[in-house]
Amino acid sequence: MVTPRIVCALATALALSACGKDAPQQALMPALPPLQLQPRIEQLKQLGAGADLALDAATKKELQEYADIALQLVEADERTAARAERSLLEHASVDAILAPMLKHENPAVRSRAAWLLGKSGQSIAQFALVLRLKDEQDGNVALWIAEALHRLGNDAGLVWIDGGMNVEVTAQQAGSMAIELLREDGAQLSEQPTWDELQRALRERTQQWRRTGKSCRDGTQPFDEARARAILARHLSITESFLLRPIDEAKYVISRSGVHGLSTLQIALSASEPYLRSVALQILPELGRAALPLCPHVLPLLGDPLTQFYAMRALGELGCSEAAPHLIARLDARETEARASAAGALGLLGDATIAQRLSQRMVDPAQPLDVRVQCAFALCMLRDDKDAAAFLTEREQKGDYHRDELAILQARLRAGR
């Protein structure tokens, strides 16, 4: 995806190169691994074809009848209800029947569908649950989805349970869920844990999820990796349409899939289709350190004029230490966006060796404000830098920089390294 800022940066680079001896001298860049791009969209489409399980009409009808009883859409005696629920949950295609019910107009049905999916142990259902979490407006239903996700080995939803404890209408339910899940996980809680104690435990698990992309919950059932890859490949291949909603859905689901999304993203990173590698690079920062194994596949993209700025941020968020020399060299690039992106990425990377250089750039009025703001952000990531923090605050107060971008930077600083 080519943004206006990238187009501007490319135009500037071309203009400067045409100026001959009057152009600023380009810094000598370390050699990058070769950029080897290949068509990937058809490969992803073929992989995505295996996302859905084929059910014959008779099996689908039988499972739907079980689901109607289990979801309490059809009245049944206690014994019949128990048998229907058990038969449904034991079937390998339970997600194919219950996932559509996550969109039911009745919140109680959506909640019960999520609860049943969590109870099924079918880990493959986590992708449908994550996708529903994106659009769920009912706070109570969102909690049931988050709880089911954790039971299926995906900790991306724990932040909803954490946040639900701060909202009056969901606090009791969220607190009860937190106690039950944490004790099942073996957490050492006091007899009557406080809200603060529960939230600390949830945040520790959320941070671990971001670092590793793996759930802290033991005993979850392994699922069909080939089908998981197919589901994620289908999400990525739909981005060919350039429609905003499918692109947003692809980013949302894959960025909350932990290590399961890495093999699919690796394919997209080497795509000759620019929209594919752009989307992949925008997903990687959300995955964070869990995507560290993909660093060798991101580094060559520093040589790609269309995606190099996305690549810089991704390398920083992933903690790719081998990228440091390349990022440092780009602090002296001709393009403003390259210098700004490199500064921000070095802060994310935690490279304190260039702190003094960043400080000098931050106070240099000859530098564009984009570069100075990113230097201030990087310094705040690297250390407790009062001058850098004051610089960012001054931008907010004066209103001389993009307000939305400042808000994003401040949110990232609050999240920490």
CATH of the domain at 115: 1.25.10
Could you tell me if residue 69 is inside a domain?
A: yes
Higher pLDDT pick, 184 / 7: 184
Percent of the chain at pLDDT above 70?
A: 93
Phi/psi for 271 (5° steps) reads: -75, 135
Supply the mean pLDDT for the chain: 91
Could you tell me if residue 373 is inside a domain?
A: yes
Q: What is the pLDDT of residue 26?
A: 53
Torsion over CA of 166, 170, 175 and 177, rounded to 10 degrees? -140
Residues 202 and 74 in one domain: yes
Could you tell me if residue 111 is inside a domain?
A: yes
Could you tell me if residue 332 is inside a domain?
A: yes
Rounded to an integer, the average pLDDT of 178-195 is: 94
Q: In whole angstroms, give the CA distance from residue 82 to residue 69.
A: 9
Q: CB of 66 within 8 A of CB of 258? A: no
Phi/psi for 52 (5° steps) reads: -100, 140
For 13-48, the pLDDT digits (tens) are 434 344 433 334 455 789 999 999 999 999 999 999
Phi/psi for 38 (5° steps) reads: -140, 155
Torsion over CA of 181, 183, 186 and 192, rounded to 10 degrees? 140
Residues 200 and 76 in one domain: yes
Q: Is 147 helix (H, G, I), strand (E, B) or coil?
A: helix
* pTM (two decimals): 0.88
Q: Is 38 helix (H, G, I), strand (E, B) or coil?
A: strand
Q: Which of residues 165, 184, 212 is at a domain's end? A: 212
Q: What is the pLDDT of residue 22?
A: 38
Domain limits at 142?
A: 57-212
Does position 250 have pLDDT exceeding 50, yes or no?
yes
Rounded to an integer, the average pLDDT of 43-60 is: 91
Higher pLDDT pick, 15 / 414: 414
Residues 185 and 332 in one domain: no
Could you tell me if residue 87 is inside a domain?
A: yes
Does position 3 have pLDDT exceeding 80, yes or no?
no
Q: Which of residues 179, 212, 245 is at a domain's end? A: 212
Rounded to an integer, the average pLDDT of 309-334 is: 96
Rounded to an integer, the average pLDDT of 135-156 is: 97
Could you tell me if residue 24 is inside a domain?
A: no
Does position 117 have pLDDT exceeding 60, yes or no?
yes
CA distances from 359 to 37, 377, 385 (A): 37, 11, 10
Does position 330 have pLDDT exceeding 70, yes or no?
yes
Helix/strand/coil percentages in the chain, nearest 5: 75, 0, 25
Model confidence band, residue 258 (pLDDT cutoffs 50, 70, 90): very high
For 198-229, the pLDDT digits (tens) are 999 999 999 999 999 999 998 888 878 899 99
Q: CB of 288 within 8 A of CB of 255? A: no
Q: Out of 224-228, 364-368, 389-393, pick the least confident.
A: 224-228
Own/partner pairs, 207-211, CB within 8 angstroms, 24+ separation: 208/155, 209/155, 209/156, 209/158, 209/258, 209/290, 210/287, 210/288, 210/289, 210/290, 211/288, 211/289, 211/290
Q: What is the pLDDT of residue 311?
A: 98
Neighbours of 17 (CB within 10 A): 11
DSSP characters over 57-85: HHHHHHHHHHHHHHTTSS---HHHHHHHH
